[in-house]
Structure 1
Amino acid sequence: MKWLLSVVALVACLLLTPAVHAGEKAKPNIVLIFTDDISARELPIYGSSKWSLPKTGKDTSDTQFRADTPVLDRMANEGLWATNAWSNTVCSPTRAMMMTGRYASIHKWWNNGDLGKSPDGNWVWPLYESSPWQLGHAARDAGYVSIWAGKTQMKQVDHRKFAFDEGVFTPGSYLYPDNPHTDFKLVKKKGGDKKDQINLDTGKTVQSYSQPSWYWKPSVALLNHPSAPEPGGEKEQITWWPHTPEAQAEYGLHTYGPDVELDFIFDFMDRAVADDKPFFVYHCSHLGHDGFDFLHPEAGNKLPGTPVIEWDGSAYTRTEPKITGDNGVYDTHGTVTGPGMYSHVEYLDYQTWLYLQKLEELGQLDNTLVIFTSDNGTWGYGKHSHDRQKGTHVPFIVYAPGLGLTKQGKQDVLLTLADMLPTLAEVMGVEPPEGYELHGESFWSFLTTDQADHRDWVYSYKGALQLIRGKHVLKDGYDKWWDVSEIPDDLISFPQIKDWSKVSDAHRAERDLFVNDIMPRYDNHATERDAPRNP
């Protein structure tokens, strides 16, 4: 009788146990929050004595313009943050480097205006051709469902070929065709100067670059959302939102692009969890990037205000935007903040809080890796700059309360966004194709073992210019050398090295390694700028 009871108990146990193979844990979810044009110095956790003024990006120490980030601070202290994470100096090459795990010596995206041509010599070489295994492909191969949200910065490409299951894009000016739902657009003035644009909302000429709004009354595109039509040919790969009568009735001046992105991301997460699928969120927020302020077209604001939010010490509240007016004359009724980097960083803090709340609601907080970083330095300070590491020094925070991180708080390490693909692939449990060259190195073992350090140098580029730094020295795009063995108060005022006899042997050894070994590996802009030509 005892043996029968034991068998019954065993069968009951098996019936009640989730269908997971012996020794197999659920794959961790991944949320990668990839912000736009935000230097490390803009986050208080980095302790900089300088940050950016609202309209110019110039230095200030005025605390009214320093962001307050209670959620990111807590994540950095309970999780960890890297003191020296490097991107490239501007958007496109950074996104290419992070998505592919490779430098431009292979993928040929050297700078925003310096993108290598395709084998036929006519078009930009798409990343999925130069590097056919990227973030989306790793997620697909590992059995994840994935969504790509926000800004893509991928020109002349088919967005379906990056292997993401879904997309919700606030695309800027490079996704076709033209969105019919908003007149918050700047379009090139025929016969005008290079920067002459027509504001379609007012009909007036402004000096800027072509763009639809990605903030207020935004242009939003959907890829493969269940409610959207099946994409057709190459020119029909997306559906412009709002695409239903219900959504169109709710859309208007008060609609804020970053909120729309998050609504679709959370809808995606709900469906992934309901289907018992691990998910990968690649959220490329526009927050931090300059944009025309359609609500204040004469003000010259570079970073339009956000919805008003308030932190009470434990939670955020958001004021629902109320905006009235037309033709460039608007009243925000006190529901929109002033312009500036600090407003954007604070709204990112609010959205990060929403992520954590959502993960907890779904029961996924302890099984999710959250990473917060950016693509390059702040507009007006670091973006486009190859002076020291103004353009390349970005924030980097890792939060994963249930995934066994062995480090906590400040980590004085070097890492590059090229490390992202091999790291996330390792977390997902998938390897690149055999023989597939990656320049990045996984930092997962650093995060989860007693490994004391990650890497000895980080590398960047701006066209033919090369930037590199180690623990002791930094060479910038001006071929100036700097002593980086200590971090200055403003994170950038390193002593310049002019007399190598006055620095240590370690400084000279690092310089020699960079000049004689590391940089020559990737220095092929002059000889192999474009894709190999077809015969």
Structure 2
Amino acid sequence: MKTILSSLVLWCIIGLSLGHAQKPNIILIYADDISARELPIYGASQWSPAPQGGDTSDPKYRAQTPVLDKLANEGVWVKNTWASTICSPSRAMMMTGRYAHLHKWWHNKDKGKWTNEKGRKETWPLYESSPYTIAHIAKAGGYATYWAGKTQMSGVENFGFDEAVFTPGEIQSKSDENPYTDFKIISKKQNGKKVLINEDTGDKVDYYQQYGWYWQPHVQLMNHPDAKQQFEWWPNTPESRQSYGLNTYGPDVELDFIFDFMKRKQKDEQPFFIYHTTHLGHDGWDFFSSETDKDKREKWPGTPKIKWENGQYTKTQPHITGDAGQYDTHGTVTEGGIHNHINYLDYQVWQYMKKLKELGIEDNTILIFCADNGTSGYGKNVPVSQKGVHVPLIIYAPCLNMSKQGEQDILANISDVLPTIVDIVGIKVPESYELNGESLLTYLTTDQKEHREWIYSYHQEKQLIRGKNVMIDGKGNYYNTAKTPKDLISYPKITDWSKVSEAHRKEKKMLEAIMPQFDLHATEHDAPASGIGRMKKLKQVEKQ
């Protein structure tokens, strides 16, 4: 596989020779299921309450993000950034810089098929549909690459990352079960019917199959220099096995391995690209709760307790005891709620900044914070207005000498991140290769007033698009977006076009003319008939 990846980089991408010392490190934090409104910097009048989500203006559920606020105000934060409405297609957009008409990941359970080299029909892998993944781009620019957290795509070794820590890990075969934790919800047959079982308690539950990624998590390493094989379950040393247990928190494990990678690459004087796809923000089974009623459970399990005081965070070390569904957290774990997940993300960003300063690279590192789709229970999987697609985007980049600062009233798309990284790392992608994202670099570093005229998203066969004045959602509703409502979502519908400005009518025509080029769900749902993909292209090249 390493030979194939090397061939891909040499064949597909022409690197520009910009010495390592000149290249900034890049940290991309891609949070899970967090709407823009959840971050205080966006100033929304409503956010999501615990335990089950929805809408509230109760300040006790408001996240507190002093570090992200500081980075957003000293760097930039974008007022209107769109992703997709749900995880897989949005992560496909980030990984490839392309929309679903090209990579064919239309929805979590609606992905284009292809016939693989063994003659079997299966989901078309992103690395086959779109060979210029975000990691291949960084590698071509001379970067060491690391992937941490959630994957939501198979074949993780094919995406161009040198190393990784995955939570909950990628099961390579039926015999490749994690031996260290029974925090998982799995499907079993009872009396001829499939049921979901909490392995920790043996109870039948009403939920969905998952391997735990928060407390006592399933953790897998890929290509770790001390591991004995490409994929290895962690804990994998006597020391780590001794400390692993109920008090082990998955997001902390991710950060420990990320920091170790950063330290090693800094020592090697090689720039690094970190792709941190944290689970924080996503709901999950609360193994510490005795409640099995889905409607009574906390939607977002508690995090370790943290406190912001005098410009720094302190953390209460978790102390959890018990077994088989009977646990005591001894007051060291927060209540459930997405606000606590966001608070913990802020704590982790603070840890990032501390580590960068410790390594002496805080002024030569770019940090990008964003999310994959709207909050569960509010916007996730919702194509109405921009509920499902409106996500935060913060860029902190002291090394870029940005001409902009603070709030940016522009339109941006998650697909823009990849071409931005293309420009930052200093490589070229052939003009014949379609990228749907547009680099933000020129906007950020010049006096350019606008970034894009329109942004686009998709939800299975549905399309969403908006400009400065007009939005068309997945239900075919038209909205007047000239003024932002207090809740960031309640734009007035347009039903009489004679009552809006000429600019609105002109923009409507523009948006309606753009959508057909991407509207291929019905006609080109699957991979091209030729089956052209990365592996096939490489084999063709090798034969020449």
TM-score normalised by length of structure 2: 0.91
Distance in 2 (CA, whole Å) between partners of 1:192 and 1:127 is 39
- Which residue of structure 2 lines up, in the alignment, with residue 525 of structure 1? 521
Contact conserved, 1:84 with 1:415, CA < 8 A, in 2?
yes
Question: Structure 1: which 5+ runs fail to align?
Answer: 1-20, 232-237
Residue 182 of structure 2 corresponds to residue 189 of structure 1: no
- TM-aligned CA distance change 1:394 to 1:194, over 3 Å: farther
Please state how far the C-alpha of 1:387 moved relative to its aligned partner.
0.7
Q: Which moved more, 1:436-445 or 1:194-203?
A: 194-203
Residue 267 of structure 2 corresponds to residue 274 of structure 1: yes
**Other structure's SS at 1:51 match:** coil
Distance in 2 (CA, whole Å) between partners of 1:105 and 1:288 is 28
Task: Indicate which of 229, 239, 248 corresponds to 1:246.
Answer: 239
- Which residue of structure 1 lines up, in the alignment, with residue 58 of structure 2? 62
Task: Indicate which of 65, 71, 78 corresponds to 1:75.
Answer: 71
**1:353-408 deviations in whole A, cap 9, x for unaligned?**
00001001111110011000000000000000001000000011111123201110
Contact conserved, 1:168 with 1:220, CA < 8 A, in 2?
yes
**Other structure's SS at 1:456 match:** coil
- Which residue of structure 2 lines up, in the alignment, with residue 346 of structure 1? 343
Read off the aligned partner of 1:511 and give its amino acid letter: K
Equivalence map 1:81-120=2 (5 Å): 81-120=77-116
Equivalence map 1:352-391=2 (5 Å): 352-391=349-388
Read off the aligned partner of 1:280 and give its amino acid letter: F
Q: Which moved more, 1:405-414 or 1:193-202?
A: 193-202
- TM-aligned CA distance change 1:348 to 1:145, over 3 Å: same
**Other structure's SS at 1:281 match:** strand
- Which residue of structure 2 lines up, in the alignment, with residue 437 of structure 1? 434
Contact conserved, 1:308 with 1:337, CA < 8 A, in 2?
yes
Distance in 2 (CA, whole Å) between partners of 1:41 and 1:443 is 22
- TM-aligned CA distance change 1:145 to 1:22, over 3 Å: closer
- Which residue of structure 2 lines up, in the alignment, with residue 179 of structure 1? 178
Read off the aligned partner of 1:271 and give its amino acid letter: R
Residue 294 of structure 2 corresponds to residue 301 of structure 1: no
Task: Indicate which of 468, 493, 496 corresponds to 1:496.
Answer: 493
Contact conserved, 1:173 with 1:212, CA < 8 A, in 2?
no
Distance in 1 (CA, whole Å) between partners of 2:490 and 2:423 is 36
Q: Which moved more, 1:284-293 or 1:222-231?
A: 222-231
Distance in 2 (CA, whole Å) between partners of 1:254 and 1:267 is 21
Distance in 1 (CA, whole Å) between partners of 2:195 and 2:515 is 40
Distance in 2 (CA, whole Å) between partners of 1:37 and 1:29 is 26
Contact conserved, 2:95 with 2:133, CA < 8 A, in 1?
yes
Identity %: 57
- TM-aligned CA distance change 1:425 to 1:493, over 3 Å: same
Contact conserved, 1:153 with 1:171, CA < 8 A, in 2?
no
Contact conserved, 2:171 with 2:177, CA < 8 A, in 1?
no
- TM-aligned CA distance change 1:346 to 1:181, over 3 Å: same
Equivalence map 1:1-16=2 (5 Å): none
- Which residue of structure 2 lines up, in the alignment, with residue 234 of structure 1? none
- Which residue of structure 2 lines up, in the alignment, with residue 38 of structure 1? 34
- Which residue of structure 1 lines up, in the alignment, with residue 511 of structure 2? 514
Greater CA radius of gyration, 1 or 2? 1
Read off the aligned partner of 2:382 and give its amino acid letter: S
Q: Which moved more, 1:24-33 or 1:444-453?
A: 24-33
**Other structure's SS at 1:518 match:** helix
The count of corresponding residues between Structure 1 and Structure 2 is: 506
TM-score normalised by length of structure 1: 0.92
Equivalence map 1:353-502=2 (5 Å): 353-502=350-499
- Which residue of structure 1 lines up, in the alignment, with residue 148 of structure 2? 149
Contact conserved, 1:195 with 1:208, CA < 8 A, in 2?
no
- TM-aligned CA distance change 1:193 to 1:491, over 3 Å: farther
Please state how far the C-alpha of 1:230 moved relative to its aligned partner.
3.1
**Other structure's SS at 1:118 match:** strand
Distance in 1 (CA, whole Å) between partners of 2:18 and 2:301 is 52
Residue 248 of structure 2 corresponds to residue 255 of structure 1: yes
Distance in 1 (CA, whole Å) between partners of 2:169 and 2:142 is 31
Read off the aligned partner of 2:438 and give its amino acid letter: E
Read off the aligned partner of 1:514 and give its amino acid letter: L
**1:141-179 deviations in whole A, cap 9, x for unaligned?**
11100100000110xx32111010001000367665322
**Other structure's SS at 2:510 match:** helix
Task: Indicate which of 239, 258, 275 corresponds to 1:265.
Answer: 258
Read off the aligned partner of 2:251 and give its amino acid letter: P
**Other structure's SS at 1:190 match:** strand
**1:325-372 deviations in whole A, cap 9, x for unaligned?**
011011101110000010000000000000001001111110011000
Equivalence map 1:131-146=2 (5 Å): 131-146=130-145
Please state how far the C-alpha of 1:123 moved relative to its aligned partner.
0.8
Distance in 2 (CA, whole Å) between partners of 1:23 and 1:256 is 38
- TM-aligned CA distance change 1:344 to 1:195, over 3 Å: farther
Distance in 2 (CA, whole Å) between partners of 1:295 and 1:255 is 13
Contact conserved, 1:173 with 1:210, CA < 8 A, in 2?
no
Please state how far the C-alpha of 1:213 moved relative to its aligned partner.
0.7
- TM-aligned CA distance change 1:501 to 1:444, over 3 Å: same
Read off the aligned partner of 2:243 and give its amino acid letter: E
- TM-aligned CA distance change 1:534 to 1:218, over 3 Å: same
Contact conserved, 1:85 with 1:395, CA < 8 A, in 2?
yes
Question: Structure 2: which 5+ runs fail to align?
Answer: 1-16, 532-544
**Other structure's SS at 2:465 match:** strand
Please state how far the C-alpha of 1:119 moved relative to its aligned partner.
3.3
**Other structure's SS at 1:398 match:** strand
Distance in 1 (CA, whole Å) between partners of 2:206 and 2:133 is 37
Distance in 1 (CA, whole Å) between partners of 2:425 and 2:323 is 48
Read off the aligned partner of 1:294 and give its amino acid letter: F
Please state how far the C-alpha of 1:447 moved relative to its aligned partner.
0.8
